[in-house]
């Protein structure tokens, strides 16, 4: 068995809705007259030092008080050197949270993550030198060119000089950018081309651990194949260990040596693509796909009518909240 380079042990990360803004609390007091000349109970209006109500669990009537959401729940697994380790899951299952934890952007509430033996909390600066991350929401200086953006990123890692510029051109052209695009402003580039520049920025520093959070989202089929080929090259030629989150089941099946499937913050399955497919029996003589496994293990079946109904409910809730806030703003202005 090869060396373990990433160890995740019992990691928990929770988030909660922020407390009610102070202006909203004042508006509520103005709308609620005192009864028999008595002031409201101080316990009802007490605020924390930051001007918000103390956090409480949301009760069953859904009155909008504090609610803890567990994004990742006691996750434990190990990733080996040179492995492409896939993480699949529905939206909101904890994939991106896990990537942010590994990249030291978030701190775990419980448990521990080590990268090449370094703790992400105690040794965060060392970890940051060993990893790089590509996310779906990559940011750039849009008025600058890909070359200028990558030179800026390279300098943060102590890389400068003519050789760095040559590497930038080599990587960008390998990813399918024309040379003229390398020197033009990024605001004139498509979403897919900008994503290629984000991938190039991560590859430029030759990280030992590469965290790819839906890296091919927004790319056309040819561009996807180019990125996937570069990912394989990073593993095969440089021994880079890669964590890949994706919604593309074919991509995960082709690239990943093992895959963890998350649902509501829990790992519901972890194995090779072949072993995962064996978990779900084939139907009507059709070979089981990774998508079949995903749907079976996460309990998701697409129902168009239910999807439309849920969307309309969400829109109604947003409109109701906007109306309520507008009324309370008018009260404060008066």
pLDDT of 158: 86
The model's pTM: 0.72
Query: Structural domains in the chain?
Result: 69-136+207-298 (3.40.50.300)
Spatial distance between the Cα atoms of 99 and 102, rounded to a whole number of angstroms: 5
DSSP string for residues in 59-113: -TT------EEEEEEEEEEEEETT-EEEEE--TTSSHHHHHHHHTTSS--SEEEE
pLDDT of 11: 97
Phi then psi for residue 47, to 5 deg, are -120, 155
Phi then psi for residue 279, to 5 deg, are -75, -20
Contact at 8 Å (CB) between 9 and 112?
Answer: yes
What counts of helices (H) and strands (E) characterise the chain?
A: 13, 10
What's the token pair of residue 70? 């567990």
Spatial distance between the Cα atoms of 4 and 329, rounded to a whole number of angstroms: 55
* Per-residue pLDDT of the chain in tens (334 residues, 90 and over written 9): 579 999 999 999 998 754 556 666 667 667 655 545 555 454 444 443 334 343 333 434 444 455 678 999 999 999 999 999 999 999 989 999 999 999 999 999 999 999 999 999 999 999 999 999 988 777 889 999 999 999 998 998 888 888 999 999 999 998 888 888 999 999 998 888 888 899 899 889 889 999 999 988 878 888 888 888 888 988 998 899 999 999 999 999 999 999 999 999 999 999 999 999 999 988 877 899 999 999 999 985 544 444 444 445 555 554 555 555 555 455 445 5
pLDDT of 216: 87
pLDDT of 300: 57
Contact at 8 Å (CB) between 259 and 86?
Answer: yes
């Amino acid at each position: 068995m090869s060396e373990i380079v990433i160890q995740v042990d019992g990691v928990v990360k929770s988030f909660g809705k922020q407390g009610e803004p102070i202006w909203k609390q004042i508006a509520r007091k103005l709308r609620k007259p005192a009864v028999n000349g008595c002031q409201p109970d101080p316990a009802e209006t007490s605020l924390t030092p930051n001007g918000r109500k103390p956090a409480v669990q949301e009760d069953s009537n859904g009155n909008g008080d504090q609610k803890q959401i567990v994004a990742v729940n006691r996750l434990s697994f190990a990733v080996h050197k040179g492995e492409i380790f896939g993480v699949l899951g529905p939206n909101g299952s904890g994939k991106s949270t896990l990537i942010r934890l590994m990249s030291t952007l978030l701190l775990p509430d419980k448990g521990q993550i080590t990268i090449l033996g370094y703790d992400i909390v105690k040794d965060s600066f060392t970890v940051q030198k060993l990893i790089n991350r590509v996310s779906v929401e990559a940011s750039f200086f849009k008025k600058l060119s890909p070359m200028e953006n990558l030179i800026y990123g390279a300098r943060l890692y102590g890389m400068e000089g003519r050789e760095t510029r040559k590497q930038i051109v080599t990587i960008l052209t390998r990813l399918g950018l024309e040379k003229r695009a390398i020197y033009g402003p990024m605001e004139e580039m498509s979403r897919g081309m900008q994503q290629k520049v984000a991938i190039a920025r991560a590859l430029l520093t030759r990280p030992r651990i590469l965290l790819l959070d839906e890296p091919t989202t927004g790319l056309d089929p040819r561009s996807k194949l180019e990125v996937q080929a570069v990912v394989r090259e990073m593993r095969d030629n440089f021994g880079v260990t890669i964590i890949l989150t994706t919604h593309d089941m074919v991509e995960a099946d082709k690239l990943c040596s093992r895959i963890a499937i998350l649902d509501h913050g829990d790992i519901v399955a972890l194995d090779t693509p072949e072993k995962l497919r064996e978990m779900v029996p084939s139907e009507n003589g059709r070979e089981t796909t990774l998508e079949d496994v995903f749907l079976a293990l996460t309990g998701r079946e697409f129902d168009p009518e239910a999807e439309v109904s849920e969307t309309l409910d969400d829109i109604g809730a947003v409109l109701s909240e906007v109306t309520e806030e507008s009324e309370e703003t008018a009260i404060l202005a008066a």
